């Protein structure tokens, strides 16, 4: 049986299209049409990935994401019809792995699903073979628990935020473009909105920097990309 995807959207036509295409790719699909049903299905069906629309009846997608994150680390790809950056920041802050904006191509969405499935598959394997503890400056990375400490204090990060810091800090002072980070950290090749990287960097800075407006750790090389400074 293929990996299971939970599709959550109150528009039946969208659910039907996504379900058809996901099944054609070999996935098992379960469906939910409102927020409360989504939370129930996430618990009972144990999906390998959730496609979660923001605008839902009974409970919006942000609330659903927050509720699911209390008990599960399943990859969540949020679907939004709104372009405001604050919505994207909020989704990532609540634990979503990424977002895609309507209207989107089914081909692009399937590519995102495959990429997030691959990331969730390799994380446990990486943790087994890598050094459990990495020290870099004032930071300690526990690669087995996916925890980051700054001066001994635990910093609350999502898995994606941790992976970004882990990747950049592994080669300090090396600059990576946003497209390169999408490829290496998000596992996206052609597909992917580079603003995803900007939003995630912004969230990480708010969590690890003493003054996010004047960062000292995750730095920007204007017109080029980002790097971890030591």
- Cα distances from 185 to residues 1, 44, 116, 135, in angstroms, run 28, 30, 10, 20
- Please say if the pLDDT value at position 123 is more than 70: no
What does the pLDDT look like over 66-110, one tens digit per residue? 999 988 888 899 988 766 666 777 777 788 888 888 888 888 899
Asked if 99 contacts 105 with a C-beta cutoff of 8 angstroms, the reply is no
Question: For the range 120-125, what are the long-range contacts, defined as Cβ-Cβ under 8 Å and sequence gap of 24 or more?
Answer: 120/48, 120/49, 120/74, 120/75, 123/159
Check residue 191 and report its DSSP letter: -
Structure confidence at residue 145 (pLDDT): 83
Structure confidence at residue 124 (pLDDT): 42
pLDDT average, residue stretch 122-146: 72
Structure confidence at residue 85 (pLDDT): 64
CATH 3.40.50.2300 positions along the chain are 4-123
Does this model's pTM top 0.95? My answer is: no
**Phi then psi dihedrals of residue 41, to 5 deg:** -70, -35
Check residue 176 and report its DSSP letter: B
Structure confidence at residue 127 (pLDDT): 40
Structure confidence at residue 73 (pLDDT): 81
Return the number of other C-beta atoms located less than 10 Å from residue 217's C-beta: 22
How far apart (Å, rounded) are the C-alpha atoms in residues 196 and 179? Answer: 10
Check residue 212 and report its DSSP letter: T
Structure confidence at residue 125 (pLDDT): 41
Q: What's the mean pLDDT when you consider all of the chain? A: 87
What does the pLDDT look like over 28-78, one tens digit per residue? 999 999 999 999 999 999 999 999 999 999 999 999 999 999 888 888 999
Residues paired with 154 in a beta bridge: 149
Higher pLDDT, 156 or 52: 52
The yes/no answer on whether domain 4-123 falls in CATH 3.40.50.300 is no
Structure confidence at residue 82 (pLDDT): 67
Nearest one of 23, 38, 18 to 104, comparing CA atoms: 18
Structure confidence at residue 84 (pLDDT): 65
Nearest one of 151, 130, 155 to 139, comparing CA atoms: 151
CATH number corresponding to 131-228: 1.10.10.10
Nearest one of 10, 51, 13 to 30, comparing CA atoms: 51
Structure confidence at residue 83 (pLDDT): 65
Higher pLDDT, 191 or 185: 185
Is residue 170 helix, strand or coil? helix
Measured in residues, the chain has a length of 230
Sign of CA dihedral 92, 81, 111, 23: positive
Lowest mean pLDDT, pick from 13-27, 153-167, 189-203: 189-203
CATH 1.10.10.10 positions along the chain are 131-228
pLDDT average, residue stretch 160-184: 91
């Amino acid at each position: 049986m293929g990996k299971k995807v939970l599709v959550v959207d109150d528009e039946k036509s969208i659910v039907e299209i996504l379900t058809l295409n996901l099944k054609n790719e070999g996935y098992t699909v379960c469906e939910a049409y409102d927020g409360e049903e989504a939370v129930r299905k996430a618990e009972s069906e144990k999906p390998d990935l959730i496609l979660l629309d923001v605008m839902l009846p009974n409970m919006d997608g942000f609330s659903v994401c927050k509720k699911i994150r209390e008990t599960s680390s399943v990859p969540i790809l949020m679907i939004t019809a709104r372009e405001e950056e604050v919505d994207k920041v909020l989704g990532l802050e609540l634990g979503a792995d990424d977002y895609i904006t309507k209207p989107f191509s089914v081909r692009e969405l399937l590519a995102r699903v495959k990429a997030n499935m691959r990331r969730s598959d390799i994380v446990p394997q990486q943790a087994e073979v890598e050094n459990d503890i990495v020290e870099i400056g004032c930071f300690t990375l526990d690669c087995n628990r996916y925890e980051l400490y700054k001066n001994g204090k635990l910093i609350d990060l999502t898995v994606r935020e941790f992976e970004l810091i882990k990747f950049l800090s592994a080669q300090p002072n090396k600059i990576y473009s946003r497209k390169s980070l999408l490829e290496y950290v998000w596992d996206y090749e052609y597909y992917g909105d580079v603003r995803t990287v900007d939003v995630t960097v912004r969230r990480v800075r708010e969590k690890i920097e003493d003054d996010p407006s004047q960062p000292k750790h995750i730095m920007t090389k204007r017109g080029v990309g980002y790097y971890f400074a030591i």
